[in-house]
């Protein structure tokens, strides 16, 4: 059975059984009708995924893997902050009349900085270091730029990546300040698992571990019945995943270079209410 399913079930049960309820408190998030979106939350969740062992897509419900990766490439490869460059509509709520989400996500990764090896942006710095100084303990990105927060449509949720090479394995830590577990958990896990696979391939490594650290892991009140049904579903083996081996440059990857096989999964859950 999928280990990712097991991690997800255990995390959800921990939140539901032992989490803290924000009901009655002043909360920022609202449902579409304007009512407060309360949560049950747990502080400091850490999940570890061994990418050599399996590709961690949930089988409890299907994850739209190529759509998730399209968003990741929108941020990391296109370094865009405009929803017109994105195939899905998931950022529409935070975009202005021109389609911009402000100085957030891709914008931050595309800003040039002065590094010892020259001027470049954060993504190019990661790739340069992985190829030239792989034993460095300083291979990381951070898009939570305090000086630009007031010009962001949404302050970054997944805000930093730290890469670490052990032997021939590329490992990474994804830090996230906040996460809607039902709507976004496996979406983010899949995105950054693929990113590790891609960077490993073009920099000469094997994918290793992805460690996902979530500061505020929460389940919204309207999502509780859905989660309770979801974690009781049957579990299946994880799907097989591979990349087009001909791609040698990170900027050449497209979603067409992803191959997902034997993805046995439960039915999709439709019309999930989203708090904004």
- Say if residue 136 carries a ligand binding annotation: no
- Say if residue 107 carries a ligand binding annotation: no
- Say if residue 113 carries a ligand binding annotation: no
| DSSP codes joined into one string, 136-186 | -S-EEEE---GGGGGGBSS--SEEEEEEEEETTEEEEEEEEEEEEHHHHHH
- Say if residue 177 carries a ligand binding annotation: yes
- Say if residue 275 carries a ligand binding annotation: yes
Decide if 170 contacts 205 (C-beta within 8 A): yes
**Residue 157 annotated in active site:** yes
- Say if residue 137 carries a ligand binding annotation: yes
- Say if residue 217 carries a ligand binding annotation: no
Q: How many whole angstroms separate alpha carbon 276 and alpha carbon 273? A: 10
- Say if residue 242 carries a ligand binding annotation: no
Q: Which of 29, 64, 90, 157 is catalytic?
A: 157
- Say if residue 180 carries a ligand binding annotation: yes
List all residues 6 or more positions away from 133 whose beta carbon is below 8 Å from its beta carbon: 139
Per the listing, tokens 């402000």 go with 102
Q: How many whole angstroms separate alpha carbon 262 and alpha carbon 236? A: 10
* Integer angstrom CA distances of residue 259 from 55, 215, 255: 11, 32, 9
- Say if residue 178 carries a ligand binding annotation: yes
Point out the annotated binding site. Answer: 137-138, 177-180, 188, 218-220, 275
Q: Which residues are catalytic?
A: 157
Point out the annotated binding site for dUMP. Answer: 137-138, 177-180, 188, 218-220
């Amino acid at each position: 059975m999928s280990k990712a399913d097991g991690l997800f079930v255990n995390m959800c049960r921990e939140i539901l059984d032992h989490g803290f309820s924000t009901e009655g408190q002043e909360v920022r998030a609202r449902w579409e009708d304007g009512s407060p979106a309360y949560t049950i939350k747990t502080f400091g969740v850490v999940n570890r995924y061994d990418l050599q062992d399996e590709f961690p897509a949930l089988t409890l419900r299907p994850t739209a893997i190529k759509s998730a990766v399209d968003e990741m490439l929108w941020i990391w490869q296109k370094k865009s902050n405009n929803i017109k460059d994105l195939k899905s509509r998931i950022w529409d709520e935070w975009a202005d009349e021109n389609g911009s989400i402000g100085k957030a996500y891709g914008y931050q990764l595309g800003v040039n900085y002065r590094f010892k090896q020259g001027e470049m942006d954060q993504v190019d710095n990661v790739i340069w270091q992985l190829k030239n100084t792989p034993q460095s303990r300083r291979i990381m990105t951070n898009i939570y730029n305090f000086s630009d927060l007031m010009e962001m449509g949404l302050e970054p949720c997944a805000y930093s990546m730290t890469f670490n090479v052990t032997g021939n394995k590329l490992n990474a830590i994804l830090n996230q300040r906040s996460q809607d577990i039902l709507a976004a958990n496996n979406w983010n896990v899949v995105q950054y698992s693929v990113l590790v696979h891609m960077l490993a391939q073009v920099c000469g490594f094997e994918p290793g571990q992805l460690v996902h650290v979530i500061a505020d892991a929460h389940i919204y009140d309207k999502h509780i019945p859905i989660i309770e049904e979801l974690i009781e579903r049957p579990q299946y083996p994880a799907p097989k995943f591979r990349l087009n081996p001909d791609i040698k440059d990170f900027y050449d990857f497209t979603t067409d270079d992803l191959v997902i096989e034997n993805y046995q999964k439960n039915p999709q859950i439709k019309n999930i209410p989203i708090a904004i």
